[in-house]
Amino acid sequence: MPFENLSEKIQYSLRKLTGRGKVNEKDIDDAMREIRVSLLEADVNYKIVKEFINEVKELALGERVMKSLTPGDQVVKIVYEELIKLMGDEAVPINLKKSGTSIVLMVGLQGSGKTTHVGKLANYLRKNNKCKPLMIAADVYRPAAINQLVTIGKQLDIEVFQMGILAKPQAIVKNGLDYAKEKGYNLVLIDTAGRLAIDEVLMQELVEIKQIVNPDEILLTVDAMTGQDAVNVAMKFHEKLGITGCLLTKLDSDTRGGAALSIRYMTKIPIKFTGLGEKMDEIDVFHPERMAKRILGMGDVLTFIEKAQASFDEEEAMKMAEKMQAGRFTYNDFLDQIKKIKKMGSIKGLLGLIPGLGSQIKNLDIDEKKFVYIEALIGSMTKEERNNPDLINKSHARKSRIANGSGRSYQEINQLTKQFETMRAQMKSLMNMDEDQMEKVSKGQAPIPGMKPSKPKKGKGKNKGGFRF
Amino acid sequence: MGLFDIFKKKKQNDTSKKYELGMKKTRQGLMGKLKAILSGHKEIDEDLFDDLTDAFIMADIGVETTLDFIEALKEDERVEGLTNAEDLQPIIVDKMFELYLKGEIVNNNFNLQKNDLSVFLFVGVNGVGKTTTIAKIAYRLKKEGKKILLAAGDTFRAGAVDQLEVWANRVGVDIVIKKGATDPSSVIYEAVQKAKQEKYDVLLCDTAGRLQNKTNLMKELEKMNRVIAREVENGPHETILVIDATTGQNGLSQAEAFMEVTNITGVILTKLDGTSKGGIVLAIRDKYNLPIKMVGLGEKMEDLEYFDLEDYIGGLFIGSEDDTDA
């Protein structure tokens, strides 16, 4: 089982202890060995793994566990607590000036995602910190890096300061900073070229840029898929520049992201942001405690709620819930939901944040493009049909018309109506569940009523997958 | 032992010198770390094997591959009766050759068609260096007298097309760009038609970086692959998975997922001029049988060399001899 994530592994190794009554040292050793392998497979630095295991084992061998009636639970608790300690106790916010121009310098290895995240961060801080950002393109080495930032700037409607590739980065940042002050920008984000930490010449360039702009934050972008060398890289950048925070990118991959643990533990640099996709709003602040919970499979509920809140307002949500409960859910509502969900980011990413679903959705085949098709199908329905889904169910003619109008196949409209009906039924039963049932579902002990656990898709045919959520 | 000797005798030419230079940036001596570990132990015991395990793990060689390797080493008949830890070194190196070669003659060369078009497809996750690698290969093949065409198939990332265009101009090769295109397959299709009509020798297709767990994007790649297969006999002739040397265990998941949608023929390991060892490619070879074709050693177009197993294994244990840590 090579591709299980860390939380599943730890859960598995500890489940064997849970509820078994007395444990002996050998049991603990066995659990520790599994945790060790699992942490190494998660790319946690081998030295940290050693220390971590030693600490956990010592605590686990204490009275509390050995004499406890629920030794497994105790070990889980210890692992969880130690893991949080490892991640840093609380979220460290970005450090911006109260007044004047704040400066964020972005540095890192090649391909770690600096340019993309300069854009994402500018967008994020504009929205959440009410900043007026300017982005400076100081990567004069990688072909078209400046174009990339300019394109991102256009997408976001954020100005980019650039002087082409013939100017020296030191001169670019100096002029860019002057420009920002002159134009009244209160936030400057500087994109720099990717470089190896051992490249003396290019590292010196960063040192000089730092001296020129005196940044409030020097953020190191780190690819979440980085292996054992992550610590080395972070240390070297830190030694030269005094990094103030990390930005962990590509966390939407299936990596277990042990690099995050390693960097935090070895360098004490806080991880401040996480990148979660290629869209410009797919960035989030880093919450160590949530991350630790996530690692242990307890789900990241708070992030989910926050994301949801940004897209749904409460009153609207209540109305929707009522509709769902009464089974009065229409295609219009459905379309509305799809749009909102799309605003929140990728479906799979979102589902992964829900406790208990983390492991279940891994094999769920979510084709986000299907939503475009659904939108097209619904777009081809008449107003009447959208408000009264039953009209379509019975009418071959209507279905044919919708299929033709949307450019999708008859099969697809058929699938949509079927899925829609099942969904309505599911919603109704879900909304009418009592707390006990809810609890079971969220712990993964019971399936959501009417929802079959999914299996990896076998067929390769175009429509075999159907619409799945 | 045989294999090791063959590689020892391999004549040192210019290319392998440069290869070493890239890797040597931080090195005090090939195998330095391995030597340090072995000389730091008097006996061959569990302690020693633990330290060896750490050294393998640190180089990002897969956990499973490492644990299997160390187990096999313990049980190797040549180890039996040995008392001096330092005597283990040739056995370890030899076993690593076996791990990679698996008794095969691994062919690094590209599958170039004689007198006909060859199409290479480059795939990988975001930020591994696909575009730069394509430029380097274009440069190398052009020097060999081939007529090269590039296809700007990364229609997604901002500036990606411009990046490849800059490289095409620098190297002096032609490029197919479809302004405003959103379907990369259509770019690939056009490039294939042009390459066939105008008798190019090699078509190198760039693709957008994609995380292997994104179903849509993997399907998009599957389609590009299908277009090439349909339009060119036996194409694509090479499908190269580009892997960043800093990649950890996720490299395995990358290899598995990309192999599912395309017929990966080999790996190019990039950014080996840094401090990362890229050991995950050994695990990839071990588990999925993918050969490493070339390694990237810098940002210039000359900085690409054929994979050299002996240098590579030496590089995995770079370190000074008194360095048992870090």
Using one digit for the tens of pLDDT, what is the confidence trace for A75-104?
767 877 888 888 877 778 999 999 899 999
Q: Rounded to whole angstroms, how far apart are CA atoms B185 and B181?
A: 9
Region B124-128: mean pLDDT is 96
Domain boundary among A87, A112, A135: A87
Establish if B211 belongs to a structural domain: yes
Per cent of chain B over pLDDT 90 is 75
Based on the fold, state whether residues B78 and B135 are members of the same structural domain: no
Based on the fold, state whether residues A287 and A312 are members of the same structural domain: no
Establish if B246 belongs to a structural domain: yes
Establish if A68 belongs to a structural domain: yes
Beta-carbon contacts of residue B175 (< 8 Å; ≥ 6 apart): B149, B150, B151, B152, B164, B165, B168
What order do you get walking across the sheet with A133-138 strand by strand?
A160-161, A133-138, A187-192, A102-108, A217-223, A245-249, A271-275, A283-285
CB contacts of B170 in chain A (<8 Å) are: 143
Establish if B315 belongs to a structural domain: no
Instruction: Using the predicted structure, report yes or no on whether residue B4 has a pLDDT greater than 50.
Output: no
Higher pLDDT, A145 or A422: A145
Instruction: Using the predicted structure, report yes or no on whether residue A464 has a pLDDT greater than 70.
Output: no
Beta-carbon contacts of residue B225 (< 8 Å; ≥ 6 apart): B121, B236, B239, B261, B262, B263
Based on the fold, state whether residues B89 and B123 are members of the same structural domain: no
CATH number, position B284? 3.40.50.300
Q: Rounded to whole angstroms, how far apart are CA atoms B229 and B235?
A: 5
Yes or no, beta carbons of A145 and B163 under 8 Å apart: yes
Based on the fold, state whether residues B275 and B295 are members of the same structural domain: yes
Q: Which of B125, B159, B279 sits opposite A147 (nearest CB)?
A: B159
Distances in whole angstroms, Cα of residue A190 to Cα of each of A116, A168, A237: 12, 14, 16
Q: Which of A110, A115, A198 sits opposite B26 (nearest CB)?
A: A198
Specify the pLDDT at position B194: 97
Based on the fold, state whether residues A378 and A354 are members of the same structural domain: yes
Specify the pLDDT at position A394: 79
Instruction: Using the predicted structure, report yes or no on whether residue A3 has a pLDDT greater than 60.
Output: no
Specify the pLDDT at position A313: 57
Q: What is the DSSP letter of A464?
A: S
Based on the fold, state whether residues A82 and A127 are members of the same structural domain: no
Judged by a CB distance cut-off of 8 A, whether residue B250 touches chain A is yes
What order do you get walking across the sheet with B266-270 strand by strand?
B174-176, B148-151, B202-205, B118-123, B238-244, B266-270, B292-296, B304-306
Per cent of chain A over pLDDT 70 is 71
Based on the fold, state whether residues A314 and A283 are members of the same structural domain: no
Specify the pLDDT at position A441: 56
Nearest chain B residue to A457 by CA distance is B215
Instruction: Using the predicted structure, report yes or no on whether residue B77 has a pLDDT greater than 60.
Output: yes
Domain boundary among B106, B134, B156: B106
Based on the fold, state whether residues A364 and A265 are members of the same structural domain: no
Looking at this protein, which amino acid is placed at residue B185? S
Q: Rounded to whole angstroms, how far apart are CA atoms B188 and B204?
A: 10
Judged by a CB distance cut-off of 8 A, whether residue B129 touches chain A is yes
Long-range CB pairs of A199-208 (<8 Å, 24+ gap) are A203/A240, A203/A241, A205/A169, A205/A170, A206/A105, A206/A107, A206/A240, A206/A241, A207/A240, A207/A241, A208/A170
Beta-carbon contacts of residue A33 (< 8 Å; ≥ 6 apart): none
Based on the fold, state whether residues A197 and A315 are members of the same structural domain: no
Q: Which of B126, B170, B274 sits opposite A196 (nearest CB)?
A: B274
Mutate to test the interface with B, among A43, A147, A228, A252 (most CBs of B within 10 A): A228
Domain containing residue A22: 6-87
Based on the fold, state whether residues A113 and A62 are members of the same structural domain: no
Q: Rounded to whole angstroms, how far apart are CA atoms B196 and A15?
A: 60
Establish if A200 belongs to a structural domain: yes
Q: DSSP string of A337-373? A: HHHHHHHH--HHHHHTTSTTHHHHGGG----THHHHH
Based on the fold, state whether residues B91 and B130 are members of the same structural domain: no
Domain boundary among A298, A319, A347: A298
Based on the fold, state whether residues B210 and B89 are members of the same structural domain: no
What values do phi and psi take at B72, rounded to 5? -65, -35
Instruction: Using the predicted structure, report yes or no on whether residue A432 has a pLDDT greater than 80.
Output: no
Please, which residues 260-299 of chain B have a Cβ atom closer than 8 Å to chain A?
A: 271, 273-277, 279-280, 299
Establish if A54 belongs to a structural domain: yes
Looking at this protein, which amino acid is placed at residue A427? M
CATH number, position B20? 1.20.120.140
Based on the fold, state whether residues B91 and B214 are members of the same structural domain: no
Per cent of chain A over pLDDT 90 is 38
CATH number, position A416? 1.10.260.30
Q: For residue B172, what are its two tokens?
A: 């002096």
Q: Rounded to whole angstroms, how far apart are CA atoms A247 and A216?
A: 15
Based on the fold, state whether residues B253 and B133 are members of the same structural domain: yes
Establish if A48 belongs to a structural domain: yes
Establish if B183 belongs to a structural domain: yes
Specify the pLDDT at position A411: 87
Instruction: Using the predicted structure, report yes or no on whether residue B195 has a pLDDT greater than 60.
Output: yes
Establish if B220 belongs to a structural domain: yes
CA B127 from chain center: how many Å? 15
- In chain B, the N- to C-terminal Cα span, in Å, equals 31
Q: Rounded to whole angstroms, how far apart are CA atoms A116 and A106?
A: 11
Domain boundary among A64, A87, A110: A87
Establish if A190 belongs to a structural domain: yes
CA-wise closest residue to A149 among A185, A122, A110: A122
Based on the fold, state whether residues A159 and A184 are members of the same structural domain: yes
Specify the pLDDT at position B174: 98
Report pTM. Answer: 0.77
Yes or no, beta carbons of A148 and B162 under 8 Å apart: yes
Confidence band of B326 (pLDDT split at 50, 70, 90): very low
Domain boundary among B45, B78, B106: B106
DSSP 3-state of A119: helix
Based on the fold, state whether residues A384 and A310 are members of the same structural domain: yes
CB-hemisphere CA count at 13 Å for A291? 29
Domain containing residue B204: 118-309
> How does strand B292-296 pair with strand B304-306?
antiparallel
Burial of B182 (0-12, 13-18, 19+ CB in 10 A): exposed
Based on the fold, state whether residues B178 and B279 are members of the same structural domain: yes
Mutate to test the interface with A, among B61, B63, B222, B258 (most CBs of A within 10 A): B63
Yes or no, beta carbons of B162 and A229 under 8 Å apart: no
Establish if A432 belongs to a structural domain: yes
Establish if B319 belongs to a structural domain: no
Instruction: Using the predicted structure, report yes or no on whether residue B21 has a pLDDT greater than 80.
Output: no
Instruction: Using the predicted structure, report yes or no on whether residue A117 has a pLDDT greater than 80.
Output: yes
Distances in whole angstroms, Cα of residue A165 to Cα of each of A110, A136, A138: 17, 13, 8
Based on the fold, state whether residues A170 and A276 are members of the same structural domain: yes
Q: DSSP string of A221-282? A: EEETTB-TTHHHHHHHHHHHH---EEEEE-TTSS---HHHHHHHHHH-PPEEEEE-SSSTT-
Specify the pLDDT at position A227: 94
DSSP 3-state of B61: coil
Establish if A467 belongs to a structural domain: no
Specify the pLDDT at position A367: 66
Instruction: Scan for tokens 């050969």, then name that residue.
Output: B291
- How many Å lie between the alpha carbon of A228 and the closest alpha carbon of chain B? 6
Establish if A458 belongs to a structural domain: no
Q: Which of B58, B67, B163 sits opposite A144 (nearest CB)?
A: B163
Based on the fold, state whether residues B209 and B274 are members of the same structural domain: yes
Q: For residue A184, what are its two tokens?
A: 């009244």
Based on the fold, state whether residues A141 and A231 are members of the same structural domain: yes
Establish if B153 belongs to a structural domain: yes
Region B188-198: mean pLDDT is 97
Instruction: Using the predicted structure, report yes or no on whether residue A398 has a pLDDT greater than 80.
Output: yes
Based on the fold, state whether residues B162 and B96 are members of the same structural domain: no
> How does strand A160-161 pair with strand A133-138?
parallel
Instruction: Using the predicted structure, report yes or no on whether residue A439 has a pLDDT greater than 60.
Output: no
Return the H-helix or E-strand segment holding B268. Answer: strand B266-270
Summarised one tens digit per residue, pLDDT across range B242-256 is 999 999 999 999 999
What's the structural domain count of chain A? 3
Judged by a CB distance cut-off of 8 A, whether residue B57 touches chain A is yes
Establish if B318 belongs to a structural domain: no
Based on the fold, state whether residues B180 and B296 are members of the same structural domain: yes
Q: Rounded to whole angstroms, how far apart are CA atoms A188 and A160?
A: 10
Tell me how many degrees the CA angle B298-B301-B306 measures, rounded to the nearest 5. Answer: 70
Specify the pLDDT at position B15: 52
What's the structural domain count of chain B? 2
Instruction: Using the predicted structure, report yes or no on whether residue A273 has a pLDDT greater than 90.
Output: yes
Based on the fold, state whether residues B139 and B27 are members of the same structural domain: no
Based on the fold, state whether residues A171 and A280 are members of the same structural domain: yes
